[in-house]
Amino acid sequence: MEHATIAAVRYLNTVPLIEGLDDLHGLGLALAAPSRIGPMIREGHADIGLASIIEASDFSSELVMIPAGMIGCDGPTMTVRLFSAVPLAEITEVHADTDSRTSVVLCRVLLRRHFGVTPRVVEFDARERVVVARGGAPGDEWPKALLLIGDKVVTDSPPAVRYPHQLDLGKAWKDLTGLPFVYAMWMCRRDRAGGEDIAAVAALLDRQLRHNLTRMEWIIREHAPRHRWPIDLARRYLTELLRFRVGDAEKAAIARFFAEAADLEGKPAPAPVFWSRPPARLLG
């Protein structure tokens, strides 16, 4: 492959995975919202993407997960959080950040398993405070229950006084299952998974992550201000709360999540499909 397009999100939590990729010969970085990355891969607009794991959770999924890096946690996540003005067991409707389908499904799983409720989900643009289906002008009020993900949980958090009841979804999943949680992983199309080009890019992604994990202090000081994070909070987030390497526990967690997600819909759960071909050669 002379050139490969890598799709990803530029949040603070993706920096250890993508920092330096756009400087590598033969790679191009395409930035997109999390909800767009799966379709970009399927439609051929990206060769590999850092996609929400829910994209691979269906029997008809065309995507294969590449364990060369992930966004995950093993306990609190900090940036995947449910805010509620009422006790969590009384929630009937959740306005959900449209950026992540995985977080929406995880929220539904946890509310049912921990609190016995199955609230209606309303797609919500948290930046503009407007219900997506309605469009229109930005709203003045925050909804009664709101699921937020990403940097805005820290940099544009809703008023705490309005939301006395909160749930960190990573911690709630750990309490429920004893497992870590995986929000996103590198993926490619199933019909391309056996190619030398995918193997070469996977090797580059793995190598770049390993390199970035050796220079986390530089990454934190360089990127936290750009994302409007305090340095100390960014350090705790990236070095203590998040996980970037894929191991057996993470694969087990994905299988458990697929099962829980399928149970919500009364469907059988597919087994996770992981890319396993050994890397062949490096680009360049």
Share of the chain above pLDDT 90, in %: 77
Structural domains of the chain, with CATH: 4-72+181-264 (3.40.190.10), 80-177 (3.40.190.10)
Chain segment 229-254, per-residue pLDDT in tens: 999 999 999 999 999 999 999 999 99
pLDDT digits 0-9 by tens, 147-194? 999 898 999 888 888 999 999 999 999 999 999 999 999 999 999 999
Q: What percent of the chain has pLDDT over 70?
A: 90
The DSSP result for the chain, as a single string, is ---EEEEE--SGGGHHHHTTGGGSTTEEEEE--HHHHHHHHHTTS-SEEEEEGGGG-STT--EEEEEEEEEEESS--SSEEEEESS-GGG--EEEEETT-HHHHHHHHHHHHHHH----EEEEEETTTTEETTT--SPPSS--SEEEEESTHHHHSPPPGGG--EEEEHHHHHHHHHSS-EEEEEEEEEGGGTTSHHHHHHHHHHHHHHHHHHTTHHHHHHHHTGGGT--HHHHHHIIIIIEE-S--HHHHHHHHHHHHHHHHHTT-PPPPP-B--PPP-----
Band of residue 258 on the pLDDT scale cut at 50, 70, 90: very high
How much is the pTM? 0.91
pLDDT for position 280: 46
What was the pLDDT predicted at 6? 96
* Average pLDDT of the residues in 58-69: 90
